[in-house]
Amino acid sequence: MRLTVGQALVRFLANQHTERDGVEQRLIAGCFGIFGHGNVAGVGQALLEQREEMPYVLARNEQAMVHAAAGFARQKNRLSTYACTASIGPGSTNMVTGAALATINRVPVLLLPGDIFATRVASPVLQELEDPSSLDVSVNDCFKPVSRFWDRINRPEQLMASALAALRVLVDPAETGAVTLSLPQDVQAEAFDWPEAFFARRVWHVRRPPAEPERLAEAAELLRGARRPLIVSGGGTIYAEATEALRELAEATGVPVAETQAGKGSLPYDHPRSVGAIGATGTTAANAIAREADVVLGVGTRWSDFTTASRSLFADPGVRFVNLNVAPVDAFKHAGLPLVADARAGLEALHGALEGWSADPAHTERARGLAADWDATVERAYTLGHAPLPAQSEVLGVVNRVSAPRDVVVCAAGSMPGDLHKLWRTRDPKGYHVEYGFSCMGYEIAGGLGVKLAAPDREVYVMVGDGSFLMMAQEIVTAVQEEIKLTIVLVQNHGFASIGALSESVGSQRFGTRYRGRDGEVLPVDLAAVAAGLGAEVHRATSVAELEAALLEAAASPRLTVVEIQTDPLVGAPDSEAWWDVPVAEVAGLDSTRAARETYEQNKRTQRQYVT
């Protein structure tokens, strides 16, 4: 079959599927794109010809379309994703941030950046980087460190092996992340005689590797000997659809369960074994149990610094870790006992190996009491009654109350991810979607677009601060174009609330974090008007009562709706009683910085290496 490289690639991608537990779905559900001279005549022309087989969505920002693909893939438990195509130069490099986000979060996205001419006949072309050390270098080499697979297709016949290798990485739960196929613009338009077999329907089996029996026995023995065990559930639990297995294990053994950002929703917030969020943005319940834990079973977590409170949280001198993870790089962290396996398969095997054993009832009951105390703290934060402007925690409370159990809250950056982690009452494994691996400002609206594409039967609530909204609001237009309904709650606090609080904690007095003119006055900006100009239905709320009324209207509306509300940035959420390591200047002329340094040095002494 004679086709161009662009036509062959699109046809190939349209015939790829995944299968896990007997359920099949398309691997590449569609393609986001923005066309320029680097891809319009190749991949662009192919998408036009094959638009029935490969749905195309015109995006407004290249970084944002990768975020949307990542949001889609995460909501689909990494079994399906979108491709993203961009032109050469700035179009392609705009996708680098999105690639880093996907790879850090272990989420599959397929990137198809246009590239310079493989023949070099017209070099240097428009937007080409001229590297004097090599004529083979282009800006697309920037994708190499943030991609799990990278290749440049310099000849048509290279595509077949490269495409298969790329998709192998996309579907591998231990290796997945951004996958980049760099496509020179002349090669995209070049014709080749392709074998029919390349376009045959292909189903990629997503494996559930079991644990090694010897390691499983060791893990069970270690847990049986624990006096104060704790389970820390990460994103891998949810991606592996292992929440039911986790619930059964926790109920049978009485072991408390704490959740990372990606793992939030592993248990309903009010489950008797749930102690909620853990770490620097965690609950006092989870963190108290973590400090006392002598054996910690980590399930599908990569042990980020927020989860471990910068390695200061797990304070028992002899604490041991068992790491159940499909990725060996995570299973071997903290000198833990590596249980390299699929989360569901591993939890089910552990359940069998621990039959007849349960944690000390006093430990289980203590965890339950601490969780109840924290839930009362959450209720107070939800109903604070702060005036004249509400606290952010009150806004979260209203959204939580209005939303249904299966609805999805989306967030990524600023102070809200931390507040959501500790305060949001999650009731469904896919009801909480906070991107905190990269915590990328601007992810929220684009990510929400991807979530809604993946779950059209769920209402999606995007929580975004004014700082992040200003970074990337353009995909409101894309959502309007595609008739995709989102409810965007725009929290206006005239600055960077999160970094403002952090700046104050390190003695920098909130410098450079307020949106103010040179005269100190609030800037005369109207973000609600911006949203309306982008095609959204807009409500302005001045109180929590007005916010609730606006959200109920938004729920009944078929349109994308933005609800703006101002909050007081100086009213923080309840303290997690945990630390996050952000270095403070060792010498300074400011009293505030010197005082912060003293506190920092005290906290540094609580850090551990976890090497035994």
In terms of domains, do 152 and 190 share one? yes
Tokens of 33: 């794109």
In terms of domains, do 536 and 553 share one? yes
In terms of domains, do 392 and 528 share one? yes
In terms of domains, do 237 and 151 share one? no
Q: According to the model, what pLDDT value does residue 545 have?
A: 96
Q: Residue 552: exposed, middle, or buried by beta-carbon count in 10 A (0-12, 13-18, 19+)? A: exposed
- Check which CATH number belongs to the domain holding 301 and give it: 3.40.50.1220
- Say if residues 553 and 516 touch (Cβ distance below 8 Å): no
Task: Report which secondary-structure segment, H or E, holds 410.
Answer: strand 408-411
Total count of residues recorded for the chain: 612
Q: How far apart are CA 363 and CA 377, in angstroms?
A: 21
| pLDDT tens sequence across 81-112 | 999 999 999 999 999 999 999 999 999 999 99
| String of DSSP letters for 533-578 | HTT-EEEEESSHHHHHHHHHHHHH-SS-EEEEEE--TT-PPPP-S-
Look-up: residue for tokens 């020179």? 184
Q: How far apart are CA 259 and CA 252, in angstroms?
A: 19
In terms of domains, do 352 and 442 share one? no
Count CB neighbours of 406 within 10 A. 14
Strand 460-465 versus strand 487-492 pairing type: parallel
Return the CA Rg of the chain: 25
Q: Is 137 left (phi over 0), alpha (psi -120 to 50) or beta?
A: beta
Q: How far apart are CA 235 and CA 237, in angstroms?
A: 5
In terms of domains, do 184 and 250 share one? no
- Say if residues 219 and 322 touch (Cβ distance below 8 Å): yes
24: which residues sit within 8 A by CB, 6+ positions away? 17, 18, 203
572 located within any domain: no
In terms of domains, do 179 and 77 share one? yes
Model-level pTM greater than 0.75?
yes
480 located within any domain: yes
Last residue of a domain, one of 309, 343, 373: 373
| pLDDT tens sequence across 202-227 | 999 999 999 999 999 999 999 999 99
In terms of domains, do 102 and 228 share one? no
- Check which CATH number belongs to the domain holding 548 and give it: 3.40.50.970
Q: According to the model, what pLDDT value does residue 435 have?
A: 97
531: which residues sit within 8 A by CB, 6+ positions away? 473, 476, 488, 490, 538, 562, 564
How many structural domains are present in the chain?
A: 3
In terms of domains, do 264 and 325 share one? yes
Q: How far apart are CA 545 and CA 88, in angstroms?
A: 49
Q: According to the model, what pLDDT value does residue 350 have?
A: 98
Note down the domain range covering 46: 2-205
Q: What residues in the chain have per-residue pLDDT under 50? A: none
Tokens of 505: 């904690």
- Cα-based distances in Å from 443 to 97, 255, 437, 475, 610: 10, 35, 12, 10, 33
Look-up: residue for tokens 């014709």? 191
Q: According to the model, what pLDDT value does residue 541 have?
A: 97
Q: According to the model, what pLDDT value does residue 499 have?
A: 72
346 located within any domain: yes
